[in-house]
Amino acid sequence: MTTTNQSGEPPIFEVKGLVKRFEGRGNGVKALDGVDLTLRSGTSLGIVGESGAGKSTILNILLGIDRPSTGTVKYHGCGLDIGNREQMTRFRREVQVVFQDPKTSLNPRMRIGSIVAEPLRSLKIEGDHAARVAEVLAAVGLDPEVVSRYPHEFSGGQRQRIAIARAIASSPSVLLGDEPVSALDVSVRVQILDLFESLKKLLNLSLVLVSHDLAIIGRLCDEIIVLKNGRVVEAGDTRSVFTDPAAAYTQRLLDSVPSFLEN
Ligand SMILES: Nc1ncnc2c1ncn2[C@@H]1O[C@H](COP(=O)(O)OP(=O)(O)O)[C@@H](O)[C@H]1O
Ligand SMILES: [Mg+2]
Protein backbone atom coordinates (compact mmCIF):
# COMPACT_ATOMS: atom_id res chain seq x y z
CA MET A 1 0.00 0.00 0.00
CA THR A 2 1.15 3.52 -0.75
CA THR A 3 1.22 5.89 2.20
CA THR A 4 -0.21 9.33 1.57
CA ASN A 5 0.08 12.58 3.49
CA GLN A 6 -2.84 14.60 4.86
CA SER A 7 -3.65 16.11 1.47
CA GLY A 8 -3.77 12.62 -0.03
CA GLU A 9 -0.57 13.12 -2.06
CA PRO A 10 1.78 10.17 -2.28
CA PRO A 11 5.37 10.78 -1.10
CA ILE A 12 8.04 11.80 -3.61
CA PHE A 13 9.92 8.55 -3.18
CA GLU A 14 8.61 5.46 -1.52
CA VAL A 15 10.94 2.51 -1.41
CA LYS A 16 9.97 -0.89 -0.07
CA GLY A 17 11.97 -4.03 0.51
CA LEU A 18 14.95 -3.02 -1.58
CA VAL A 19 17.45 -5.82 -2.11
CA LYS A 20 20.51 -5.38 -4.30
CA ARG A 21 22.87 -8.20 -5.02
CA PHE A 22 26.00 -7.66 -7.09
CA GLU A 23 27.24 -10.75 -8.88
CA GLY A 24 30.75 -11.81 -8.10
CA ARG A 25 32.78 -14.61 -6.64
CA GLY A 26 30.74 -17.10 -4.61
CA ASN A 27 27.37 -15.65 -3.73
CA GLY A 28 28.38 -12.13 -4.76
CA VAL A 29 27.71 -9.12 -2.55
CA LYS A 30 24.38 -8.31 -0.99
CA ALA A 31 24.73 -4.53 -0.91
CA LEU A 32 21.14 -3.89 0.24
CA ASP A 33 19.05 -6.26 2.27
CA GLY A 34 15.46 -5.10 2.65
CA VAL A 35 15.65 -1.29 2.75
CA ASP A 36 12.48 0.79 3.19
CA LEU A 37 12.50 4.58 2.97
CA THR A 38 10.16 7.46 2.30
CA LEU A 39 10.90 10.99 1.11
CA ARG A 40 8.03 13.36 1.77
CA SER A 41 7.60 16.55 -0.18
CA GLY A 42 9.54 19.52 1.18
CA THR A 43 11.52 17.44 3.67
CA SER A 44 15.10 16.29 3.85
CA LEU A 45 16.09 12.69 4.44
CA GLY A 46 19.58 11.72 5.54
CA ILE A 47 21.14 8.32 4.96
CA VAL A 48 24.03 7.63 7.32
CA GLY A 49 26.36 4.68 7.36
CA GLU A 50 29.97 3.63 7.18
CA SER A 51 31.79 3.08 3.92
CA GLY A 52 30.35 0.03 2.14
CA ALA A 53 27.00 0.21 3.97
CA GLY A 54 25.09 0.58 0.69
CA LYS A 55 24.42 4.33 0.61
CA SER A 56 25.51 5.02 -2.96
CA THR A 57 23.69 1.90 -4.12
CA ILE A 58 20.44 3.36 -2.74
CA LEU A 59 21.03 6.68 -4.52
CA ASN A 60 21.85 4.96 -7.80
CA ILE A 61 18.61 2.99 -7.55
CA LEU A 62 16.61 6.15 -6.72
CA LEU A 63 18.16 7.81 -9.78
CA GLY A 64 17.29 4.87 -12.00
CA ILE A 65 21.00 4.39 -12.82
CA ASP A 66 20.83 0.96 -11.20
CA ARG A 67 17.99 -1.50 -10.69
CA PRO A 68 17.10 -3.33 -7.49
CA SER A 69 17.33 -7.14 -7.45
CA THR A 70 13.96 -7.11 -5.69
CA GLY A 71 11.80 -4.46 -4.07
CA THR A 72 9.89 -1.46 -5.36
CA VAL A 73 10.65 2.22 -5.92
CA LYS A 74 7.71 4.54 -6.40
CA TYR A 75 8.13 8.14 -7.50
CA HIS A 76 5.01 10.22 -6.80
CA GLY A 77 3.15 6.95 -6.37
CA CYS A 78 4.24 5.34 -9.67
CA GLY A 79 6.98 2.98 -10.76
CA LEU A 80 9.49 4.40 -13.25
CA ASP A 81 9.48 2.86 -16.69
CA ILE A 82 12.94 3.29 -18.20
CA GLY A 83 11.43 2.65 -21.66
CA ASN A 84 9.07 5.61 -21.31
CA ARG A 85 11.13 8.51 -22.69
CA GLU A 86 8.69 11.22 -21.79
CA GLN A 87 8.44 10.04 -18.19
CA MET A 88 12.23 9.63 -17.89
CA THR A 89 12.91 13.12 -19.32
CA ARG A 90 10.52 14.63 -16.81
CA PHE A 91 12.11 12.57 -14.03
CA ARG A 92 15.61 13.78 -14.96
CA ARG A 93 14.47 17.37 -14.90
CA GLU A 94 12.89 16.91 -11.51
CA VAL A 95 15.50 14.78 -9.75
CA GLN A 96 19.10 15.95 -9.83
CA VAL A 97 22.24 14.83 -8.03
CA VAL A 98 25.45 16.28 -6.62
CA PHE A 99 28.33 13.81 -6.26
CA GLN A 100 31.15 13.65 -3.77
CA ASP A 101 34.09 14.95 -5.71
CA PRO A 102 33.71 18.02 -7.94
CA LYS A 103 37.20 17.30 -9.31
CA THR A 104 35.92 14.27 -11.17
CA SER A 105 32.30 15.34 -11.68
CA LEU A 106 33.21 18.49 -13.67
CA ASN A 107 34.73 17.98 -17.12
CA PRO A 108 38.14 19.73 -16.99
CA ARG A 109 37.98 20.64 -20.68
CA MET A 110 34.67 22.44 -20.51
CA ARG A 111 34.12 26.04 -19.54
CA ILE A 112 31.93 26.64 -16.49
CA GLY A 113 29.15 28.15 -18.60
CA SER A 114 28.95 25.03 -20.72
CA ILE A 115 29.12 22.70 -17.69
CA VAL A 116 26.25 24.43 -15.92
CA ALA A 117 24.15 24.58 -19.11
CA GLU A 118 24.62 20.86 -19.81
CA PRO A 119 21.30 19.68 -18.28
CA LEU A 120 19.47 22.45 -20.17
CA ARG A 121 20.93 21.13 -23.43
CA SER A 122 20.58 17.42 -22.77
CA LEU A 123 17.03 17.75 -21.44
CA LYS A 124 16.14 20.13 -24.30
CA ILE A 125 14.86 22.79 -21.95
CA GLU A 126 13.69 25.83 -23.85
CA GLY A 127 14.56 29.42 -23.03
CA ASP A 128 17.62 31.61 -22.68
CA HIS A 129 20.29 29.21 -21.39
CA ALA A 130 22.87 31.95 -20.77
CA ALA A 131 20.43 33.87 -18.60
CA ARG A 132 19.50 30.71 -16.67
CA VAL A 133 23.19 29.87 -16.11
CA ALA A 134 23.84 33.39 -14.76
CA GLU A 135 20.83 33.03 -12.47
CA VAL A 136 21.89 29.70 -10.93
CA LEU A 137 25.52 30.80 -10.56
CA ALA A 138 24.30 33.81 -8.60
CA ALA A 139 22.08 31.51 -6.52
CA VAL A 140 25.13 29.47 -5.42
CA GLY A 141 27.14 32.59 -4.63
CA LEU A 142 29.37 32.76 -7.71
CA ASP A 143 29.99 35.72 -9.99
CA PRO A 144 28.27 35.00 -13.33
CA GLU A 145 31.54 36.06 -15.01
CA VAL A 146 33.00 32.65 -14.13
CA VAL A 147 31.27 31.18 -17.22
CA SER A 148 34.36 31.64 -19.40
CA ARG A 149 36.72 29.92 -16.95
CA TYR A 150 37.69 26.25 -16.41
CA PRO A 151 37.21 24.01 -13.35
CA HIS A 152 40.93 23.92 -12.39
CA GLU A 153 40.81 27.67 -11.73
CA PHE A 154 38.56 27.09 -8.72
CA SER A 155 38.91 25.75 -5.18
CA GLY A 156 37.16 22.56 -4.08
CA GLY A 157 34.35 24.49 -2.41
CA GLN A 158 33.82 26.70 -5.46
CA ARG A 159 33.78 23.62 -7.71
CA GLN A 160 31.12 22.07 -5.55
CA ARG A 161 29.12 25.31 -5.91
CA ILE A 162 29.45 24.90 -9.68
CA ALA A 163 28.20 21.29 -9.44
CA ILE A 164 25.25 22.50 -7.37
CA ALA A 165 24.50 25.26 -9.91
CA ARG A 166 24.42 22.60 -12.63
CA ALA A 167 22.12 20.44 -10.50
CA ILE A 168 19.57 23.21 -9.95
CA ALA A 169 19.66 24.53 -13.56
CA SER A 170 16.72 22.38 -14.68
CA SER A 171 14.61 23.63 -11.72
CA PRO A 172 14.43 20.24 -10.01
CA SER A 173 12.11 19.52 -7.11
CA VAL A 174 14.41 16.89 -5.59
CA LEU A 175 18.13 17.09 -4.99
CA LEU A 176 20.21 14.06 -4.05
CA GLY A 177 23.69 14.47 -2.59
CA ASP A 178 26.16 11.59 -2.36
CA GLU A 179 28.69 12.64 0.30
CA PRO A 180 28.62 16.16 -1.16
CA VAL A 181 31.04 17.67 1.34
CA SER A 182 33.36 14.83 2.29
CA ALA A 183 35.95 15.67 -0.38
CA LEU A 184 36.13 19.29 0.82
CA ASP A 185 38.33 21.02 3.38
CA VAL A 186 36.70 20.98 6.78
CA SER A 187 36.61 24.81 6.75
CA VAL A 188 34.33 24.96 3.69
CA ARG A 189 32.05 22.04 4.56
CA VAL A 190 29.71 24.13 6.69
CA GLN A 191 29.45 26.76 3.94
CA ILE A 192 28.34 24.17 1.41
CA LEU A 193 25.91 22.59 3.89
CA ASP A 194 24.45 26.04 4.55
CA LEU A 195 24.10 26.51 0.80
CA PHE A 196 22.10 23.26 0.55
CA GLU A 197 19.91 24.46 3.38
CA SER A 198 19.25 27.89 1.91
CA LEU A 199 18.58 26.48 -1.58
CA LYS A 200 16.20 23.96 -0.07
CA LYS A 201 14.12 26.81 1.33
CA LEU A 202 14.50 29.14 -1.63
CA LEU A 203 13.67 26.55 -4.29
CA ASN A 204 11.33 24.43 -2.19
CA LEU A 205 13.49 21.37 -2.73
CA SER A 206 13.20 17.98 -1.13
CA LEU A 207 16.60 16.51 -0.27
CA VAL A 208 18.15 13.10 0.11
CA LEU A 209 21.63 13.42 1.55
CA VAL A 210 24.06 10.58 2.01
CA SER A 211 26.99 10.80 4.41
CA HIS A 212 29.17 8.65 6.62
CA ASP A 213 29.06 11.57 9.07
CA LEU A 214 26.05 11.77 11.38
CA ALA A 215 26.88 15.38 12.32
CA ILE A 216 26.42 16.49 8.72
CA ILE A 217 23.10 14.70 8.39
CA GLY A 218 21.92 15.99 11.77
CA ARG A 219 22.64 19.56 10.74
CA LEU A 220 20.65 19.39 7.53
CA CYS A 221 18.04 16.67 7.62
CA ASP A 222 14.57 16.35 9.12
CA GLU A 223 14.64 12.56 9.07
CA ILE A 224 17.43 10.03 9.29
CA ILE A 225 17.94 6.42 8.42
CA VAL A 226 21.03 4.64 9.66
CA LEU A 227 22.32 1.92 7.38
CA LYS A 228 24.59 -0.93 8.43
CA ASN A 229 25.62 -3.72 6.07
CA GLY A 230 22.72 -2.94 3.74
CA ARG A 231 20.06 -2.91 6.46
CA VAL A 232 18.26 -0.02 8.12
CA VAL A 233 19.09 -0.23 11.84
CA GLU A 234 17.48 3.08 12.80
CA ALA A 235 14.86 5.35 11.24
CA GLY A 236 13.18 8.42 12.65
CA ASP A 237 13.10 12.17 12.90
CA THR A 238 16.45 13.79 13.61
CA ARG A 239 15.59 14.94 17.10
CA SER A 240 14.53 11.51 18.31
CA VAL A 241 17.48 9.79 16.65
CA PHE A 242 19.85 12.21 18.40
CA THR A 243 18.15 12.19 21.80
CA ASP A 244 16.86 8.63 21.99
CA PRO A 245 18.52 6.32 19.46
CA ALA A 246 16.99 2.87 19.22
CA ALA A 247 20.13 1.09 18.02
CA ALA A 248 23.42 0.68 19.88
CA TYR A 249 25.12 1.26 16.53
CA THR A 250 23.55 4.73 16.27
CA GLN A 251 24.75 5.53 19.78
CA ARG A 252 28.28 4.66 18.72
CA LEU A 253 28.00 7.02 15.73
CA LEU A 254 26.60 9.72 18.03
CA ASP A 255 29.53 9.37 20.42
CA SER A 256 31.84 10.50 17.64
CA VAL A 257 29.75 13.50 16.56
CA PRO A 258 31.75 16.72 16.96
CA SER A 259 30.27 19.66 18.79
CA PHE A 260 29.71 21.99 15.82
CA LEU A 261 26.21 20.57 15.65
CA GLU A 262 25.35 22.07 19.00
CA ASN A 263 25.99 25.67 17.96
N1 LIG B 1 29.11 -2.28 -9.11
C2 LIG B 1 29.39 -3.03 -8.04
N3 LIG B 1 29.81 -4.32 -8.18
C4 LIG B 1 30.07 -5.09 -7.11
N5 LIG B 1 29.95 -4.69 -5.84
C6 LIG B 1 29.53 -3.42 -5.62
C7 LIG B 1 29.23 -2.53 -6.71
N8 LIG B 1 28.84 -1.33 -6.19
C9 LIG B 1 28.90 -1.47 -4.85
N10 LIG B 1 29.31 -2.72 -4.51
C11 LIG B 1 29.45 -3.25 -3.15
O12 LIG B 1 28.23 -3.01 -2.47
C13 LIG B 1 28.46 -2.60 -1.13
C14 LIG B 1 27.84 -1.24 -0.89
O15 LIG B 1 28.53 -0.26 -1.68
P16 LIG B 1 28.13 1.28 -1.70
O17 LIG B 1 26.68 1.40 -1.95
O18 LIG B 1 29.05 1.94 -2.66
O19 LIG B 1 28.44 1.73 -0.21
P20 LIG B 1 28.63 3.19 0.42
O21 LIG B 1 28.20 4.20 -0.60
O22 LIG B 1 27.77 3.17 1.65
O23 LIG B 1 30.07 3.31 0.77
C24 LIG B 1 29.96 -2.63 -0.93
O25 LIG B 1 30.30 -3.88 -0.39
C26 LIG B 1 30.49 -2.50 -2.34
O27 LIG B 1 31.75 -3.10 -2.44
MG1 LIG C 1 29.24 5.78 -1.43
Which ligand is in closest contact with the Cα of 229? Answer: 1
pTM, whole model, 2 decimals? Answer: 0.93
Confidence (pLDDT) at 82:
80
Query: Does residue 4 belong to any structural domain of this protein?
Result: no
Strand partners, 32: 20
- Residue 81 CA to residue 100 CA, distance in Å, equals 27
Ligand 2 midpoint to CA 20 (Å) = 14
Query: Does residue 143 belong to any structural domain of this protein?
Result: yes
- Provide the pLDDT confidence category of residue 24 given band limits of 50, 70 and 90: confident
Using CA positions, which residue lies closest to atom 14 of ligand 1?
54
Query: Does residue 139 belong to any structural domain of this protein?
Result: yes
Mean pLDDT, rounded, for 160-172: 98
The pLDDT of residue 57 is above 80: yes
Query: Does residue 180 belong to any structural domain of this protein?
Result: yes
Which ligand is in closest contact with the Cα of 226? Answer: 1
Which ligand is in closest contact with the Cα of 58? Answer: 1
Chain mean position to CA 114: 23
CATH number, domain with residue 249:
3.40.50.300
Of the candidates 66, 79, 12, 71, the one whose C-alpha atom is nearest the C-alpha of residue 232 is: 71
Query: Does residue 7 belong to any structural domain of this protein?
Result: no
Which ligand is in closest contact with the Cα of 57? Answer: 1
Pair 170, 164: CB distance under 8 Å: no
Using CA positions, which residue lies closest to atom 27 of ligand 1?
52
Mean pLDDT, rounded, for 218-227: 95
Number of structural domains found in the chain: 1
- For a substitution probing ligand 1, which of 18, 23, 25, 29 has the most ligand atoms within 8 Å of its CB? 29
Query: Does residue 63 belong to any structural domain of this protein?
Result: yes
For residue 34, count other CB atoms closer than 10 A to its CB: 14
Using CA positions, which residue lies closest to atom 18 of ligand 1?
56
Q: Which atom of ligand 1 is nearest to the CA of 66?
A: 1
Chain mean position to CA 86: 23
- Provide the pLDDT confidence category of residue 259 given band limits of 50, 70 and 90: low
Q: Which atom of ligand 1 is nearest to the CA of 23?
A: 4
Lining ligand 1 with CB less than 6 A are 22, 24, 29, 31, 49, 51-57
The pLDDT of residue 104 is above 70: yes
Query: Does residue 223 belong to any structural domain of this protein?
Result: yes
Using CA positions, which residue lies closest to atom 26 of ligand 1?
52
- For a substitution probing ligand 1, which of 18, 21, 22, 32 has the most ligand atoms within 8 Å of its CB? 22
Lowest mean pLDDT among 23-27, 144-148, 204-208, 240-244: 23-27
Helix (H) or strand (E) holding 59: helix 55-62
Q: Which atom of ligand 1 is nearest to the CA of 51?
A: 23
Confidence (pLDDT) at 75:
96
Confidence (pLDDT) at 43:
96
Pair 225, 58: CB distance under 8 Å: no
Residue 244: domain span: 13-257
The pLDDT of residue 262 is above 50: no
Ligand 1 midpoint to CA 125 (Å) = 34
Query: Does residue 6 belong to any structural domain of this protein?
Result: no
Mean pLDDT, rounded, for 84-88: 90
